[in-house]
Structure 1
């Protein structure tokens, strides 16, 4: 490799990058011959050495063709697979091609299209040649949402051959039997610290489906802004940054429906009693005082009337069975330092911590009355674990070791240890994200089942439309494989080049699909390439 920087010693970094990219691109190509570059890695698979061409007029057959969800997804993926246009199937082609694969057979066993936690997302995907030499591709699934996961895998098997200008399925025949490891595989999106337009949120949801993530945790509201329309209390969205940075009820419906078409649930969050200062912009009586604005005033009936109105309106929009009530970082100084709140505490013989518990449990009861299972950040469990409702899901974030304590008490847990799965922590490398284990320290099968899964968190203080996708990807994909694939079948760590090469390949796949995923191995997340080179080295 010395020739790469012999003539240009002052351009050592750029030249060295060029040489490494050539080397890694070649290594990826070689590895692709011995291991499929499917992300996340399927549970069980076999493959061969043949190639099959795919007809750009590919048609959908099978009983799943009756499902609007599957038909729409088929058209969507067809556009992805044949993104190179008509040059390989239109007027520029002078030679007639006999394509091997002309039909995609999708069979679904259930007519139900209800999307809830734990819905069956398993699928089988078979690619073969029949006795006549024609290619045959079949996806079998128990639900339409399993069929969606199978379509994503099928799309990753297809690649454009530039020499023949045809789409090929390499390594046929294929036999893939796949299912997720965890039922909850999430991404949290914060639209309070920076407003994200609806189209940007939809782009993120689309990219989530490529990595088989299935829950968008929408952290809509926080101290900084209240962008959501609440018809029962219309002054609440006076807390938005501006009149142009808001979400209507129709916007929220659109996001939920767009997500469902991709097999993704939307879990909304209303974080109380802290992180709610923006509420008082429209309704100042929600503040303990004009000079002490959080947490929400626990002493007033009006506070709980507003919360009940918000939840009632949101229940019409969000059908998912989980609803996040926050409960984190509640600093009660405003309560004890405001005379009327402090007097209320004294009259009820309550401490500020008692009032914190009172607020959280009252909010939980509101959610439960609307047939939601409440989700709370871990501080609620750390402070009053025996008082939480048995249906509570505890959301870990402060550090490791929380989920083992939660499931030992019989409660469910979501893993989001900030040390590894907070995407705004830009100095966390891909392999630390990848190696994080939601079941660490949990050995009983009965307790392991109580870990629903996990989510990566995209807090928005330093991310907006200009850089949010680069911050999410590709590190979110590392967590996605940990949550989908069987632990024993996935490689781990920088020392194992297989995981890195496959992730680099997936990052380039995201780029080809229009997702501005950042380089994989840069020291800081979302940073740009340092110089020329192959996508696979960045």
Structure 2
């Protein structure tokens, strides 16, 4: 969807369309620089924005930003509290060196105000919400109103993405002790390639405190990711409070390693303020041993603790109760039901389950299908669209509810098969997008293609996007961020930017220098991102050196 522009921007459109074709080619074939520093911003050889915008032009001016930068909002959605809160957050980032800033009342700053225009007052955050924006930053009547930067978007969530881009254009100059924007005037017209750009975090294998989860979500917003897939529960622990079945969280590791309903609501609200949906996952029927700590009848027997007991209606009553409670907490339309790695062998030697299988003329494979489909029906009855790991598609694709979103993980080639049958698909190929695989280098994340050879445009649209997955067997609060970042950023650009505008094959070193710069931006913002070019994630730096070389 195109963004309607105010009259103030029309004069700039001509400049944009004349120069766009030249500058866009330049932006993807620029020569590499090895150590970006203050001088990088005065050079036309590199554009340090991550993820790279869809369309942009820039110049050669350097503009100063008033430390007392003000916010002006307009449009039907201009009064959103999200905008004021986001401005405060980004102002703290942009003016991080506020105590060092050289304030001079006799100096006229080039940029005094940021003007945000939001056309729609609809603040619903859902899959496919319009995140497009335009950003106009210049000096002179030919470019924009003197003294301000303009961000224009159809929704508040597009405006949030524009604020992130603006924050990345701002640099603190240590010599002048001012915040400056280089290469002005800027015109950026931007929108994401994929509607689903996710990061999965597992809080079952190691409990992560609420503040750590918030820090992960905050860092996601810097890379314009928009879905936080919360893998809350697994066989090892059940840390979440479920009011309808309060004994479930007896499966937590300890009484201190739990999430209350209020905690979960806080996470959802915190993410929404940053334009990030929260998709919860309750993995069934496997990966559910922890459920029996509070309700042992969910186990087929003391020696067969998973999969959950398929023979009892009470098992599905519990799932229904969980989903009812989850619907009050997690408004996002997608809900993940797992369905992966289900070993049904013990159903065959548990007497009452074996008898149930016989009475219903089912094999264990049939029962697995029955369980998944019944869980899907429950989720749909609560207003959710079910997401399942790819084993369900691989095993009984013709029986899945047509609304199912297939979540790839085992390897390549699943999304093409899924969309060929009319299913939507999320790409998370473990060979390139599993963050717990520490030996996957950044460029493999970057080169991964969620549409992986799907040429039919209508089928490409069924690929919602993808997500990187942070399984937590070997991470906890001490090292989760340095395992996620910066490699997650490589996938984030693949999900946001058009391949034509990034083209790693044409200029790998150019992408690498931007990637290194973004890693250092993360560290400046307090994110413990690992060195960019280590072969193994979270390995220590090789020795003394610049952040931009590591």
| TM-score normalised to structure 1 length | 0.93
Q: Please give the secondary structure, in 1, of the residue aligned with 2:188.
A: strand
Q: Does 1:167 align with 2:179?
A: yes
Q: Quote the residue 2:18 is aligned against.
A: none
Cα distance change of structure 1 residues 432 and 31 upon mapping to structure 2, 3 Å threshold: farther
Q: Is the contact made by 2:42 and 2:182 (CA closer than 8 Å) also made in structure 1?
A: no
SS of the equivalent of 1:371 reads coil
SS at match of 2:218: helix
* Alignment match of 1:252 (pick from 231, 253, 264): 264
What residue is the counterpart of 1:43 in the other structure? 54
Structure 1 match to 2:120: 110
The alignment partner of 1:59 has SS state of strand
- Cα distance in 1 between the residues matched to 2:37 and 2:518: 16
SS of the residue 2:300 aligns to: coil
Shift of 1:530: 1.6
2:93 paired residue among 77, 80, 94: 80
Match of 1:287 in 2: 299
Which residue of structure 2 lines up, in the alignment, with residue 421 of structure 1? 433
Q: Deviations over 1:277-336 (max 9, x none)?
A: 000000110001011101000001111111111010010000000000000000001211
Whether 1:335 aligns to 2:347 is yes
- State the superposition RMSD in angstroms: 1.6
Q: How does 1:366-515 map to 2 (within 5 A)?
A: 366-492=378-504, 496-515=508-527
CA separation of 1:495/1:147 partners in 2, compared to 1, >3 Å: closer, same or farther? closer
Rounded to whole Å, the distance in 2 between the matches of 1:329 and 1:131 is 62
Equivalent residue number for residue 136 of structure 2: 126
Q: What are the superposed Cα offsets for residues 57-79 of structure 1, whole Å, 9 maximum, x if unpaired?
A: 11111215511011100110000
Q: How does 1:153-164 map to 2 (within 5 A)?
A: 153-164=165-176
Distance (whole Å) between structure 2 residues aligned to residue 509 and residue 87 of structure 1: 19
Within 2, Cα distance between the matches of 1:31 and 1:535? 20
Q: Within 1, Cα distance between the matches of 2:507 and 2:141?
A: 44
C-alpha distance in 1 between matches for 2:345 and 2:402: 29
Q: CA deviation at 1:97?
A: 2.5
Question: In the TM superposition, what whole-angstrom CA distance separates every residue of 1:223-279 from its partner, at most 9, and x where no partner exists?
Answer: 000000000000000000000000000000000000000000000000000000000
For 2:208, which of 190, 196, 203 is the aligned residue? 196
The structure 1 residue matched to 2:64, chosen from 24, 43, 53, is 53
For the 8 Å contact 1:494–1:500, the answer to whether it is kept is no
Q: Does 1:33 align with 2:57?
A: no
CA gap 1:515/1:361 in 2 versus in 1, 3 angstroms: same
TM-score, normalised to structure 2, is: 0.91
**What CA deviation, in whole Å up to 9, does each residue of 1:406-465 have, x standing for no partner?**
000000000000000000000000000000000112110110000000000000000100
Matched, 1:186 2:198: yes
Q: State how far apart, in whole Å, the 1-side matches of 2:104 and 2:494 are.
A: 46
Q: Deviations over 1:105-128 (max 9, x none)?
A: 000010010000000000000011
Correspondent of 2:79 among 45, 59, 66? 66
Native 8 Å contact 1:390 1:411 kept in 2: yes
Tell me by how many angstroms 1:526 deviates. 1.2
Equivalent-residue separation in structure 2 for 1:401 and 1:57 (angstroms): 52
Secondary structure (helix, strand or coil) at the match of 2:431 reads helix
2:375 counterpart (350, 354, 363): 363
Provide the rounded CA distance (Å) in 2 between the counterparts of 1:65 and 1:444: 39
Runs of 5+ in structure 1 lacking a partner? 1-21
Residue 543 (structure 2) aligns with: 531
Indicate how the Cα distance of structure 1 residues 338 and 254 shifts in structure 2: closer, same or farther if over 3 A, else same. same
* From 228, 233, 245, the counterpart of 2:245: 233
SS in 1 for 2:65: strand
**How many angstroms apart in 1 are the aligned matches of 2:237 and 2:331?**
24
Tell me the secondary structure at the aligned position of residue 384 of structure 1: helix
Please list every run of at least 4 consecutive aligned residues from structure 1 whose deviation after the TM superposition is greater than 4 angstroms.
Answer: 25-28
Secondary structure at 2:165 match in 1:
helix
Query: 1:136 aligned to 137, 148, 157, which one?
Result: 148
Residues 339-390 of structure 1: per-residue CA shift (max 9 Å, x gap): 1100000011000000000000000000000111000000000000011111
CA contact (8 A) 2:334 2:387 kept: yes
**Which position in structure 2 is the counterpart of 1:99?**
109
Residue segments in structure 2 that go unaligned for 5+ positions in a row = 1-32
Contact 1:493 1:499 in 2 (8 A): no
Deviation of residue 496 (structure 1)?
A: 1.7
Q: Tell whether the 8 Å contact from 2:67 to 2:98 is kept in structure 1 after alignment.
A: no
Segment of structure 1 superposing worse, 80-89 or 299-308: 80-89
